[in-house]
Every structure is written in C-alpha cells, then in structure tokens.
Amino acid sequence: MRLVDDLDGSKAVETITFQVDSKEYEIDLNEEHAARLRDALAPYVAAGRRAGVSRTPRRQSAAPKRSRQDLAEVRAWLAEHGYPVKERGRIPDAWVADYDTKSPNPPQQGEPTAVEAQQPSRAPAVEAPVFQAVS
C-alpha cells in the first residue's frame, strides 16, 4: 500500500491520528509536513494533559433512574401484590421487572428473596462460652 500526502499529493511516510472536539482524524503526511504538524501542536501538547481516550463508547446503566415518587408507586404495587418490600432500601431488579410488566410473581413463604439468594449463607450462630470465676 502506498501512502499519499493528503496536503500536496507527494509520497507520505506516515499516518498521524489526532483528535479535536471529540472527533478523531487521520492524515497521511510526508516527513516535512509531519514535522510541521508536530511543531505546530507542540505548545498545546506541552500545556495540555493526557486524557485516557476510550475507543468504545461508555455504557449507559441498564435501568434508568427512577424518581422518589416512582419508587413509592413501585413499593405500593409490590406490597399490594404480596411482595415483602420494605419502606427503604434497594428493590430487587426482578421485582421492579415484575412491576414494569405488571405481572405479579411474589416470592413464596420461606423462599429466599432475590436479595437474600444473592448473599452468601452464614454459618450458624455459636453460643459464647460462659466463664465462671473460681476462687
């Protein structure tokens, strides 16, 4: 593959990639034009700071944030349909999905909630030993 200088059509020796205003550009340049570009950018590069540029777009969160009023409505619906929802704290995603689809499927009595199922099981409590003073 032969590179052609994008400024004057002469033989280019390299492709330079740069970014301005969140837009990425590539330009094929000969040695002289590449040096002039680097010289022109040198004061800005020296004064600037390096930013971690990601080539992939940032992921949006899976679920949009809900307002307090929306959450109050979700909690009311869940409670009305037999979910053991609390007044405060995180609502399991599965329950919110049930609310969104309006298809109640509350956990059965004795069945762990979605939050409980995700937590590691704890060892049974051990009674503390009783010590008696001996005289």
Q: How many domains does the chain have?
A: 2
The pLDDT score that the predictor gives to residue 10 is 92
**Alpha-carbon gap, residue 110 to 123, rounded angstroms:** 19
Q: What is the C-alpha to C-alpha distance for residues 82 and 107, in angstroms, rounded to an integer?
A: 8
Instruction: Give tens-digit pLDDT for 15-41.
Output: 999 888 888 899 999 999 999 999 999
Residues 4 and 38 in one domain: yes
Global pTM value = 0.39
CATH code: domain of residue 19: 3.30.60.230
Cα separation, 51 vs 45, in Å, equals 11
How high is the pLDDT of residue 50? Answer: 82
- Which stretches in the chain have pLDDT values below 70? 1, 53-66, 109-135
| Co-location of 74 and 46 in the same domain | no
Range of the domain at 15: 1-50
